[in-house]
Amino acid sequence: MVMKREVVGYTRMSTELIDENLNSSPFFFASANTSMLGKGIQHHFKQAIPFSQLAEQAQALLEQSKTTDCENPVLFGVVPFNQENPTQFIVPQTLYVSSSPRANGARHHNQSQAKVISSPTGGHYKQGVSSLLEMFANAGLSKVVLSRAVEVATDQDINQTELLHNLLAINAKGYTFAARIDDDSRLMGASPELLVAKRGNHLISNPLAGSRPRSMSEHENDAHRASLLNTAKDLHEHGLVVEEVERVLAKYCHNLYTPMVPSVIETETMLHLSTVLEGQVSDPSVSALKVAADLHPTPAVCGFPRQSAYDAIKKLEGFDRGYFTGMVGWCDARGNGEWVVTIRCAEVKSRQMKVFAGAGIVNESSPQSELDETGAKMRTILSAAGIQLNEHLTA
Protein backbone atom coordinates (compact mmCIF):
# COMPACT_ATOMS: atom_id res chain seq x y z
CA MET A 1 0.00 0.00 0.00
CA VAL A 2 1.29 3.46 -0.94
CA MET A 3 1.19 6.38 1.47
CA LYS A 4 -0.80 9.04 -0.33
CA ARG A 5 -0.16 12.76 0.23
CA GLU A 6 -2.79 15.31 -0.75
CA VAL A 7 -2.58 19.11 -0.50
CA VAL A 8 -5.97 20.64 0.28
CA GLY A 9 -7.33 24.12 0.95
CA TYR A 10 -7.45 25.26 4.56
CA THR A 11 -11.26 25.56 4.43
CA ARG A 12 -11.59 21.91 3.45
CA MET A 13 -9.09 20.99 6.18
CA SER A 14 -11.15 22.89 8.73
CA THR A 15 -14.76 22.27 7.75
CA GLU A 16 -14.51 18.79 6.28
CA LEU A 17 -11.40 16.90 7.34
CA ILE A 18 -11.13 18.03 10.97
CA ASP A 19 -14.88 18.12 11.55
CA GLU A 20 -15.62 14.78 9.92
CA ASN A 21 -12.43 12.78 10.50
CA LEU A 22 -10.77 13.92 13.74
CA ASN A 23 -12.45 11.24 15.85
CA SER A 24 -11.05 8.46 13.65
CA SER A 25 -7.75 10.17 12.73
CA PRO A 26 -4.53 8.96 14.36
CA PHE A 27 -3.10 12.50 14.45
CA PHE A 28 -3.39 16.17 13.61
CA PHE A 29 -0.44 18.58 13.80
CA ALA A 30 -0.18 22.26 12.87
CA SER A 31 2.58 24.86 12.92
CA ALA A 32 2.02 28.58 12.25
CA ASN A 33 1.69 28.09 8.47
CA THR A 34 1.02 24.39 7.81
CA SER A 35 -1.32 21.71 9.09
CA MET A 36 -1.44 17.96 8.56
CA LEU A 37 -4.01 15.32 9.32
CA GLY A 38 -3.45 11.59 8.99
CA LYS A 39 -6.13 9.16 7.84
CA GLY A 40 -5.71 5.42 8.24
CA ILE A 41 -2.56 3.71 9.52
CA GLN A 42 0.03 2.12 7.25
CA HIS A 43 2.61 1.46 9.99
CA HIS A 44 2.23 1.82 13.75
CA PHE A 45 5.05 1.40 16.27
CA LYS A 46 4.28 1.51 20.01
CA GLN A 47 7.08 0.45 22.32
CA ALA A 48 9.38 1.81 25.01
CA ILE A 49 12.82 2.34 23.47
CA PRO A 50 15.90 4.38 24.45
CA PHE A 51 15.76 7.91 23.08
CA SER A 52 19.13 7.27 21.42
CA GLN A 53 17.37 4.74 19.12
CA LEU A 54 14.40 6.93 18.11
CA ALA A 55 15.85 8.24 14.84
CA GLU A 56 17.01 4.78 13.76
CA GLN A 57 13.58 3.23 14.48
CA ALA A 58 11.74 6.05 12.69
CA GLN A 59 13.99 5.76 9.65
CA ALA A 60 13.38 2.00 9.49
CA LEU A 61 9.61 2.60 9.36
CA LEU A 62 10.04 5.29 6.71
CA GLU A 63 12.22 3.00 4.58
CA GLN A 64 9.52 0.30 4.80
CA SER A 65 6.99 2.86 3.58
CA LYS A 66 8.95 3.95 0.50
CA THR A 67 7.65 3.01 -2.95
CA THR A 68 8.33 4.26 -6.47
CA ASP A 69 5.19 6.39 -6.14
CA CYS A 70 6.12 7.69 -2.67
CA GLU A 71 9.87 8.02 -2.15
CA ASN A 72 9.58 10.52 0.75
CA PRO A 73 6.91 9.30 3.21
CA VAL A 74 6.12 11.18 6.43
CA LEU A 75 5.99 9.79 9.96
CA PHE A 76 4.23 11.33 12.95
CA GLY A 77 5.46 10.65 16.48
CA VAL A 78 4.64 11.08 20.16
CA VAL A 79 7.59 10.60 22.50
CA PRO A 80 7.27 10.43 26.33
CA PHE A 81 9.21 12.34 28.98
CA ASN A 82 10.60 9.08 30.37
CA GLN A 83 12.00 6.51 27.93
CA GLU A 84 10.50 3.70 30.03
CA ASN A 85 7.08 4.74 28.65
CA PRO A 86 6.11 3.80 25.07
CA THR A 87 7.03 5.94 22.08
CA GLN A 88 4.45 5.93 19.27
CA PHE A 89 5.23 6.37 15.56
CA ILE A 90 2.59 6.37 12.82
CA VAL A 91 2.92 6.39 9.04
CA PRO A 92 -0.59 7.18 7.76
CA GLN A 93 -2.27 5.71 4.69
CA THR A 94 -3.23 9.23 3.61
CA LEU A 95 -1.68 12.50 4.73
CA TYR A 96 -3.74 15.63 4.11
CA VAL A 97 -1.73 18.86 4.19
CA SER A 98 -2.95 22.45 4.04
CA SER A 99 -1.92 25.96 4.93
CA SER A 100 -3.13 26.93 8.37
CA PRO A 101 -6.85 26.48 9.08
CA ARG A 102 -6.58 29.15 11.80
CA ALA A 103 -8.24 31.71 9.52
CA ASN A 104 -11.58 30.04 10.27
CA GLY A 105 -11.31 31.10 13.92
CA ALA A 106 -12.56 29.73 17.22
CA ARG A 107 -15.77 27.80 17.74
CA HIS A 108 -18.33 28.79 20.31
CA HIS A 109 -19.07 26.00 22.70
CA ASN A 110 -21.37 25.25 25.57
CA GLN A 111 -19.75 25.91 28.92
CA SER A 112 -19.26 22.67 30.80
CA GLN A 113 -19.12 22.48 34.57
CA ALA A 114 -16.37 20.27 35.91
CA LYS A 115 -15.02 19.08 39.20
CA VAL A 116 -11.51 18.09 40.20
CA ILE A 117 -11.33 14.33 40.80
CA SER A 118 -7.61 14.08 41.54
CA SER A 119 -5.23 15.01 44.24
CA PRO A 120 -2.69 16.34 45.26
CA THR A 121 -3.64 19.91 46.03
CA GLY A 122 -1.82 23.15 45.36
CA GLY A 123 -0.46 22.91 48.89
CA HIS A 124 1.31 19.67 47.95
CA TYR A 125 2.89 21.42 44.96
CA LYS A 126 4.10 24.33 47.10
CA GLN A 127 5.61 21.83 49.55
CA GLY A 128 7.48 20.24 46.64
CA VAL A 129 8.90 23.64 45.66
CA SER A 130 10.00 24.25 49.26
CA SER A 131 11.67 20.83 49.38
CA LEU A 132 13.52 21.61 46.15
CA LEU A 133 14.77 24.92 47.48
CA GLU A 134 16.27 23.05 50.43
CA MET A 135 17.87 20.51 48.05
CA PHE A 136 19.54 23.22 45.96
CA ALA A 137 21.85 24.05 48.84
CA ASN A 138 23.60 20.66 48.84
CA ALA A 139 22.52 18.62 45.80
CA GLY A 140 24.47 20.45 43.08
CA LEU A 141 21.21 21.36 41.31
CA SER A 142 20.80 24.59 39.33
CA LYS A 143 17.20 24.14 38.11
CA VAL A 144 14.38 21.60 38.38
CA VAL A 145 11.08 21.78 36.52
CA LEU A 146 8.41 20.64 38.95
CA SER A 147 5.02 19.86 37.44
CA ARG A 148 1.54 18.89 38.54
CA ALA A 149 -1.45 17.16 36.99
CA VAL A 150 -5.10 17.91 37.64
CA GLU A 151 -7.82 15.49 36.56
CA VAL A 152 -11.27 16.92 35.98
CA ALA A 153 -14.61 15.25 35.23
CA THR A 154 -17.18 17.12 33.13
CA ASP A 155 -20.97 16.99 33.24
CA GLN A 156 -21.20 16.55 29.44
CA ASP A 157 -19.09 15.12 26.62
CA ILE A 158 -15.99 17.12 25.68
CA ASN A 159 -16.28 18.12 22.02
CA GLN A 160 -12.75 17.38 20.81
CA THR A 161 -13.34 18.95 17.39
CA GLU A 162 -14.36 22.27 18.95
CA LEU A 163 -11.47 22.02 21.38
CA LEU A 164 -9.02 21.60 18.50
CA HIS A 165 -10.47 24.58 16.60
CA ASN A 166 -10.18 26.73 19.72
CA LEU A 167 -6.59 25.62 20.36
CA LEU A 168 -5.76 26.54 16.75
CA ALA A 169 -7.33 29.97 17.18
CA ILE A 170 -5.56 30.87 20.43
CA ASN A 171 -2.14 29.54 19.41
CA ALA A 172 -1.70 31.31 16.08
CA LYS A 173 2.11 31.39 16.15
CA GLY A 174 2.61 28.08 17.93
CA TYR A 175 2.03 24.36 17.42
CA THR A 176 -1.30 22.58 17.85
CA PHE A 177 -1.70 18.82 18.07
CA ALA A 178 -4.24 16.05 18.64
CA ALA A 179 -2.88 12.50 18.74
CA ARG A 180 -4.65 9.31 19.67
CA ILE A 181 -2.56 7.67 22.39
CA ASP A 182 -4.87 4.74 23.19
CA ASP A 183 -8.39 3.52 22.42
CA ASP A 184 -10.23 6.12 24.50
CA SER A 185 -7.69 8.89 25.03
CA ARG A 186 -6.25 11.67 22.87
CA LEU A 187 -3.30 13.93 23.66
CA MET A 188 -4.32 17.49 22.74
CA GLY A 189 -2.48 20.74 23.20
CA ALA A 190 -1.12 24.06 21.99
CA SER A 191 2.64 24.21 22.52
CA PRO A 192 4.57 27.46 22.09
CA GLU A 193 7.97 25.71 22.24
CA LEU A 194 9.88 24.38 19.23
CA LEU A 195 12.43 21.77 20.27
CA VAL A 196 14.00 21.56 16.82
CA ALA A 197 13.07 21.87 13.15
CA LYS A 198 15.14 20.91 10.14
CA ARG A 199 14.44 22.17 6.64
CA GLY A 200 17.09 21.05 4.19
CA ASN A 201 20.39 21.99 5.84
CA HIS A 202 18.85 24.61 8.14
CA LEU A 203 18.34 23.79 11.84
CA ILE A 204 16.38 25.93 14.30
CA SER A 205 15.46 25.62 17.97
CA ASN A 206 13.41 27.96 20.16
CA PRO A 207 13.74 27.19 23.89
CA LEU A 208 11.48 29.04 26.34
CA ALA A 209 12.13 29.50 30.06
CA GLY A 210 11.16 32.28 32.45
CA SER A 211 7.45 33.11 32.46
CA ARG A 212 4.76 35.50 33.65
CA PRO A 213 0.98 35.07 33.43
CA ARG A 214 -0.51 37.31 30.76
CA SER A 215 -2.91 39.98 31.98
CA MET A 216 -6.03 41.53 30.44
CA SER A 217 -4.27 44.89 30.99
CA GLU A 218 -1.71 45.85 28.34
CA HIS A 219 -0.07 48.15 30.86
CA GLU A 220 0.51 45.17 33.18
CA ASN A 221 1.82 43.09 30.27
CA ASP A 222 4.33 45.84 29.41
CA ALA A 223 5.50 45.73 33.03
CA HIS A 224 5.75 41.91 32.88
CA ARG A 225 7.81 42.06 29.67
CA ALA A 226 10.20 44.56 31.21
CA SER A 227 10.41 42.47 34.39
CA LEU A 228 11.28 39.27 32.48
CA LEU A 229 14.15 41.04 30.71
CA ASN A 230 15.41 42.61 33.92
CA THR A 231 15.05 39.94 36.64
CA ALA A 232 18.14 37.92 37.55
CA LYS A 233 16.10 34.82 38.48
CA ASP A 234 14.39 34.61 35.06
CA LEU A 235 17.53 35.44 33.09
CA HIS A 236 19.45 32.78 35.02
CA GLU A 237 16.72 30.14 34.46
CA HIS A 238 16.58 30.97 30.75
CA GLY A 239 20.36 31.02 30.39
CA LEU A 240 20.70 27.47 31.73
CA VAL A 241 18.35 26.19 29.03
CA VAL A 242 19.96 28.14 26.17
CA GLU A 243 23.48 27.02 27.12
CA GLU A 244 22.45 23.35 27.08
CA VAL A 245 20.57 23.66 23.76
CA GLU A 246 23.56 25.49 22.26
CA ARG A 247 25.93 22.76 23.50
CA VAL A 248 23.89 20.03 21.77
CA LEU A 249 23.28 21.95 18.53
CA ALA A 250 26.98 22.76 18.24
CA LYS A 251 27.62 19.00 17.77
CA TYR A 252 25.47 19.01 14.62
CA CYS A 253 25.90 22.53 13.22
CA HIS A 254 28.40 24.93 11.81
CA ASN A 255 27.62 28.66 11.62
CA LEU A 256 25.45 28.26 14.73
CA TYR A 257 24.00 31.60 15.82
CA THR A 258 22.67 32.22 19.33
CA PRO A 259 21.38 35.73 20.16
CA MET A 260 23.24 37.23 23.10
CA VAL A 261 20.06 38.23 24.94
CA PRO A 262 16.54 36.74 24.94
CA SER A 263 13.34 38.34 23.72
CA VAL A 264 9.78 37.97 25.03
CA ILE A 265 7.04 36.04 23.21
CA GLU A 266 3.43 35.78 24.29
CA THR A 267 0.64 33.22 24.10
CA GLU A 268 -3.02 33.59 25.05
CA THR A 269 -2.23 33.09 28.75
CA MET A 270 1.54 33.53 29.23
CA LEU A 271 4.62 35.65 28.49
CA HIS A 272 7.91 33.77 28.04
CA LEU A 273 11.58 34.55 27.62
CA SER A 274 12.56 33.17 24.22
CA THR A 275 15.79 32.60 22.28
CA VAL A 276 15.91 31.38 18.66
CA LEU A 277 19.08 29.43 17.81
CA GLU A 278 19.86 28.77 14.13
CA GLY A 279 22.59 26.96 12.22
CA GLN A 280 23.50 24.84 9.20
CA VAL A 281 23.89 21.10 9.73
CA SER A 282 27.37 19.73 9.11
CA ASP A 283 25.92 16.39 7.91
CA PRO A 284 22.91 16.98 5.60
CA SER A 285 21.67 13.42 6.17
CA VAL A 286 21.19 13.88 9.94
CA SER A 287 17.52 13.58 10.93
CA ALA A 288 15.63 16.27 12.84
CA LEU A 289 14.58 13.45 15.19
CA LYS A 290 18.22 12.54 15.90
CA VAL A 291 18.89 16.10 17.10
CA ALA A 292 15.58 16.26 18.98
CA ALA A 293 16.34 13.02 20.82
CA ASP A 294 19.74 14.40 21.87
CA LEU A 295 18.14 17.60 23.17
CA HIS A 296 15.29 15.83 24.98
CA PRO A 297 14.50 16.50 27.76
CA THR A 298 15.97 20.02 27.85
CA PRO A 299 16.38 22.02 31.08
CA ALA A 300 13.16 23.83 30.03
CA VAL A 301 11.13 20.76 31.07
CA CYS A 302 13.53 18.73 33.23
CA GLY A 303 16.27 20.84 34.78
CA PHE A 304 20.03 21.07 35.10
CA PRO A 305 22.10 18.97 35.49
CA ARG A 306 19.71 16.64 33.64
CA GLN A 307 20.14 13.42 35.63
CA SER A 308 20.11 15.10 39.05
CA ALA A 309 17.01 17.08 38.08
CA TYR A 310 15.33 13.94 36.76
CA ASP A 311 16.02 12.14 40.05
CA ALA A 312 14.51 15.04 42.01
CA ILE A 313 11.40 15.02 39.78
CA LYS A 314 10.92 11.29 40.34
CA LYS A 315 11.19 11.79 44.08
CA LEU A 316 8.91 14.82 44.45
CA GLU A 317 6.24 14.84 41.74
CA GLY A 318 4.33 11.71 42.70
CA PHE A 319 2.77 11.00 39.28
CA ASP A 320 3.81 9.68 35.87
CA ARG A 321 4.09 12.50 33.32
CA GLY A 322 3.40 10.16 30.40
CA TYR A 323 3.68 12.23 27.21
CA PHE A 324 3.61 15.57 29.03
CA THR A 325 7.00 17.32 28.56
CA GLY A 326 7.85 14.71 25.95
CA MET A 327 7.88 15.72 22.30
CA VAL A 328 5.43 15.54 19.44
CA GLY A 329 6.00 16.12 15.73
CA TRP A 330 6.91 14.66 12.36
CA CYS A 331 9.82 13.78 10.14
CA ASP A 332 10.22 12.59 6.56
CA ALA A 333 12.58 10.08 4.95
CA ARG A 334 15.04 12.90 4.07
CA GLY A 335 15.49 13.95 7.69
CA ASN A 336 13.35 17.09 7.57
CA GLY A 337 10.90 17.57 10.41
CA GLU A 338 9.50 19.55 13.32
CA TRP A 339 9.51 18.39 16.93
CA VAL A 340 7.90 20.46 19.66
CA VAL A 341 7.88 20.18 23.43
CA THR A 342 4.63 18.62 24.65
CA ILE A 343 3.37 21.35 26.97
CA ARG A 344 0.05 23.25 27.40
CA CYS A 345 -1.64 19.92 26.90
CA ALA A 346 -4.06 17.39 28.32
CA GLU A 347 -5.04 13.77 27.95
CA VAL A 348 -8.67 14.01 26.83
CA LYS A 349 -11.37 11.35 27.18
CA SER A 350 -15.11 11.71 26.51
CA ARG A 351 -15.93 13.23 29.93
CA GLN A 352 -12.56 13.48 31.56
CA MET A 353 -9.44 15.54 31.10
CA LYS A 354 -6.01 15.28 32.74
CA VAL A 355 -4.32 18.67 32.50
CA PHE A 356 -0.59 19.20 33.08
CA ALA A 357 1.63 22.19 33.83
CA GLY A 358 5.06 22.79 35.29
CA ALA A 359 7.33 25.63 36.36
CA GLY A 360 11.09 25.98 36.47
CA ILE A 361 12.38 26.12 40.03
CA VAL A 362 15.67 27.89 40.76
CA ASN A 363 17.19 29.24 43.95
CA GLU A 364 15.16 32.45 43.96
CA SER A 365 11.78 30.76 43.32
CA SER A 366 8.71 31.43 45.47
CA PRO A 367 6.33 28.49 46.09
CA GLN A 368 3.14 30.54 45.66
CA SER A 369 4.26 32.33 42.48
CA GLU A 370 5.30 29.00 40.91
CA LEU A 371 1.91 27.50 41.81
CA ASP A 372 0.20 30.55 40.26
CA GLU A 373 2.24 30.01 37.08
CA THR A 374 1.08 26.40 36.74
CA GLY A 375 -2.53 27.47 37.20
CA ALA A 376 -2.21 30.10 34.46
CA LYS A 377 -0.69 27.53 32.09
CA MET A 378 -3.50 25.03 32.77
CA ARG A 379 -6.11 27.62 31.83
CA THR A 380 -4.95 27.52 28.18
CA ILE A 381 -6.56 24.18 27.49
CA LEU A 382 -9.35 24.35 30.08
CA SER A 383 -10.69 27.59 28.58
CA ALA A 384 -10.34 26.19 25.04
CA ALA A 385 -12.51 23.24 26.13
CA GLY A 386 -15.09 25.56 27.72
CA ILE A 387 -14.50 23.94 31.09
CA GLN A 388 -15.37 25.91 34.20
CA LEU A 389 -13.93 24.64 37.46
CA ASN A 390 -15.61 25.22 40.78
CA GLU A 391 -12.27 24.70 42.52
CA HIS A 392 -9.43 27.21 42.18
CA LEU A 393 -6.28 25.94 40.47
CA THR A 394 -3.91 27.85 42.74
CA ALA A 395 -5.34 27.08 46.16
Selecting among 143, 290, 354, 377, the annotated active-site residue is: 143
Taking every pair of Cα atoms in the chain, the longest distance, rounded to a whole number of angstroms, is 60
Label residues 308-340 b or e (16+ Cβ within 10 Å = b): bbbebbeebbeeebbbbbbbbbbbbbebbbbbb
Classify the C-alpha dihedral 165-170-171-177 as positive or negative.
Answer: negative
Alpha carbon distance 131, 315 (integer Å): 10
Give the residues across from 34 on adjacent strands: 99
**Which is catalytic among the residues 151, 162, 193, 246?**
193
Per the annotation, the verdict on 193 as an active-site residue is yes
> 10 Å Cβ neighbour count for 43?
18
Q: What is the CA radius of gyration of the chain?
A: 20
Would you say 338 and 288 are in contact if contact means Cβ atoms under 8 Å apart? yes
Q: Tell me if residue 143 is catalytic.
A: yes
The sign of the CA dihedral 140, 271, 298, 283 is negative
As annotated, the active-site residues are 143, 193
